[in-house]
Amino acid sequence: MRTRAKLKPGQRGTLKLLAQYGKQLVCVRYRYDEERHKRFTTVELIVSESEWHRKTARIAPDAHVGVRVGYAEKQLQHKIKQMGGAWNAARRLWEMRYDSAVALGLEERIVAIRQRRRVGTRGTNRPVKSMQMWIPKKHIIVYACI
């Protein structure tokens, strides 16, 4: 069985059904069964209506998120820099803390969450303070004073 037509209320072929169902009518479909040589008319109706609120994501405030900002939005880019954000050229988006993005009203522009690697040297989960970054366990750094 295949659908040949999907019509919105008010279009030709829906007027009788629109008179019958009124504002509850969402769409009318005409489906055809090639084997039995039959045409079926199906309707999509609204049967109930209730309040609905989008659930907010549970993102840690210190999680780093990617935010899309247009090239011409220089003032917004400046605000992001002031809040500690940085441009990631490889990903072509601004990276900043989630709580900073919310403070600037950028929730709708968040496109990705970056998982921070928290592996320090020798299997500990401490940051290497001299480097101010997280270093994977497999890398060994030797400092030499000459």
Q: Where are the domains of the chain?
A: 2-45, 64-114, 118-146
pLDDT of residue 81: 93
Secondary structure in 3-state letters for 60-103 = CCCCEEEECCCCCCHHHHHHHHHCCCEEECCCCEEEEEHHHHHH
How does pLDDT run along the chain (146 residues), one tens digit per residue? 788 888 899 999 899 999 999 999 999 999 999 899 999 999 999 999 899 887 766 788 888 899 999 999 999 999 999 999 999 998 889 999 999 999 999 988 988 766 655 555 555 555 444 444 444 555 555 555 54
pTM summary value: 0.42
> In the structure, how many helices (H) and strands (E) does the chain have?
3, 7
pLDDT of residue 54: 75
pLDDT of residue 132: 44
